[in-house]
Amino acid sequence: MTDLADSRRNFVIGAGVAVAAAGAASSVSAQEPKMPGQPTTPAAAAYPKPPFAPQKQEWPGLASKMNPRPDHGETSYKGSGRLAGKRALITGGDSGIGRAAAIAYAREGADVAINYLPAEEPDAREVIALIKAEGRKAVAIPGDLRDEAFCNKLVECAARELGGLDILVNNAARQQTRPAIGDISSADFEATMKTNVYAPFWLTRAAVARMAAGAVIVNTSSEQAGDPSEDLVDYAMTRAAMLNFTKSMAKQLAPRGIRVNAVTPGPFWTPLQVSGGATQEKLQKFGSQAPLGRPGQPAEIAGLYVAAADPGLSFSTGQIFGATGGGGQPG
């Protein structure tokens, strides 16, 4: 390769990485290009590391108000048509991991409906615009998943607006840190259980009634399922439940040709943490105990949600796809 070509390549790559990490606390350096059609993210060293600035938002929180702002792959994720023609519903699709999945799905050729709480509308508008920018259909359906009637309506509306339903991503979750079991009120416990366990059950039940062979359900669990924190008792319970739900439903739906997989994140930089999911002390050093020494960015896990739904991996069902920064994986 000539010196001129090297210079041009390094300029393009360096500019793209700088845009993707705008607003991050650490500087960005250029990286080597990846194979065509593969997701590209900044080099690991470019992502923010603790300590993070003290910050707090009211539940459920907005990514747009976080410091540093998370990278969901807005400028870095490159699709290759792996989900061309698919129709997906993603809960919690306004921010965090759900937002990263929504962006990736659209760039892989899927039409996408996202669900979120009304308070998250500012973030949701950004996602809808990103999906439409890919020439895909985008459907916004705000509402509270703790309501069974709404869950049924959500699936019905998504299937109607998208012309069918091929992928359901049960991603939305509630996480609130509590130092002791006596500090978890019954109302708190119920809200977490309904968001994290009841809603995926209701949504899955409604979705499978509309799904045909080749459809996929992708659940979000967590490393908390196998290595729970002492101050996230109720949340960790729900993440373990999602692993069992994934494995049992995979067996139940296999004869119908419907696959069910799960993704288990480790520490990821999302509004879940700054809106009550972590103490201020834990937040400032968030991700420091992972072998990589930092939290993951949502863009770094989007590819697993694509893989979990990819028709090319049609023998993969009941599988657990993990990204924990080296911290181990629940089975």
pLDDT digits (tens, 9 = 90+) for 243-265: 999 999 999 999 999 999 999 99
Distances from the Cα of 168 to the Cα of 79, 154, 178, 201, 263, angstroms = 19, 11, 31, 12, 13
Which of 77, 198, 235, 305 is the catalytic position? 235
Instruction: Indicate whether 240 pLDDT > 50.
Output: yes
Q: What is the pLDDT of residues 47-76, one digit of tens each?
A: 999 999 999 999 999 999 999 999 999 999
Parallel/antiparallel/unpaired status of strands 216-220 and 87-91:
unpaired
pLDDT score, position 44: 58
| Mean pLDDT of the region 13-42 | 38
Specify the 3-state DSSP secondary structure of 5.
helix
* Element spanning 99, H or E: helix 96-107
DSSP of 123-154: HHHHHHHHHHHTT--EEEEE--TT-HHHHHHH
Class of domain 63-323: alpha beta
pLDDT score, position 35: 38
Task: Label residue 24 by pLDDT band (50, 70, 90).
Answer: very low
For residues 192 and 175, what is the distance between their CA atoms, to the nearest angstrom?
7
Instruction: Indicate whether 17 pLDDT > 70.
Output: no
Please say if 105 is a catalytic residue: no
pLDDT score, position 7: 40
Would you kindly state where each structural domain of the chain is located, as residue ranges?
1-34, 63-323
Q: How many residues does the chain have?
A: 331
Distances from the Cα of 181 to the Cα of 15, 185, 238, 278, angstroms = 49, 8, 15, 16
Task: Label residue 140 by pLDDT band (50, 70, 90).
Answer: very high
Mean pLDDT for all residues in the chain: 89
Q: What is the pLDDT of residues 185-209, one digit of tens each?
A: 999 999 999 999 999 999 999 999 9
Instruction: Indicate whether 39 pLDDT > 60.
Output: no
Task: Label residue 45 by pLDDT band (50, 70, 90).
Answer: low
Q: What is the pLDDT of residues 141-160, one digit of tens each?
A: 999 999 999 999 999 999 99
Q: What is the pTM of this model?
A: 0.87
